[in-house]
Amino acid sequence: MPAVRFYALAEASVSPAGHDSVPAVCAKACELTAELYSQKKKSVVLCADQAQAEAVDQLLWQLPAARFVPHNLTGEGPNGGAPVEIVWQPQSLPRKQCLINVSGKMVDNFNQFQQIIDFVPVEETAKQQARERYKQFQQAGCQMQFLPA
């Protein structure tokens, strides 16, 4: 069973230094993606749609050079993919060690990952959906952890 970490987001959007406001979930996902990459872990970032995937892609390109994360959108990049792949179709999740779920939806084949990162947004409907995902992971026997963002 994978270890699952949920991060409670304190706000809907953030403004990184020198940049326009971006969804907090995307900013936190990029921060955690860089952290996992620094630990030599390969990850897949599951987004709700192509627009969100492109936003995550752009945020990863804006990280400082010292925190560079080799990544690509699904269908791009080398055979076998980059260490970080950004997808928006849950049925085509590549095999990686970690899943960073910014889609707001439950993942069917979650047992293929060693670690899953998910988020609890501030918006009430999305928060309720996150609670449901938390219960599903818990009932499946996953090791659960809840953290502030």
Q: What is the pLDDT of residues 68-98, one digit of tens each?
A: 999 999 888 777 779 999 999 988 788 899 9
Output the CA angle 88-93-98, nearest 5 degrees: 105
Structural domain spans, the chain: 3-12+23-148
Fold of 3-12+23-148: Rossmann fold (3.40.50)
How does residue 134 score in pLDDT terms, banded at 50, 70 and 90?
very high
Report how far residue 14's alpha carbon sits from residue 50's, in angstroms, rounded to the nearest whole number: 21
Q: What is the pLDDT of residue 93?
A: 86
Q: Is residue 146 within 8 Å of 131, Cβ to Cβ?
A: no
Q: Burial level of 39, CB count in 10 A (0-12/13-18/19+)?
A: exposed
Per residue in 11-67, pLDDT (tens digit) is 888 876 556 778 999 999 999 999 999 999 999 999 999 999 999 999 999 999 999
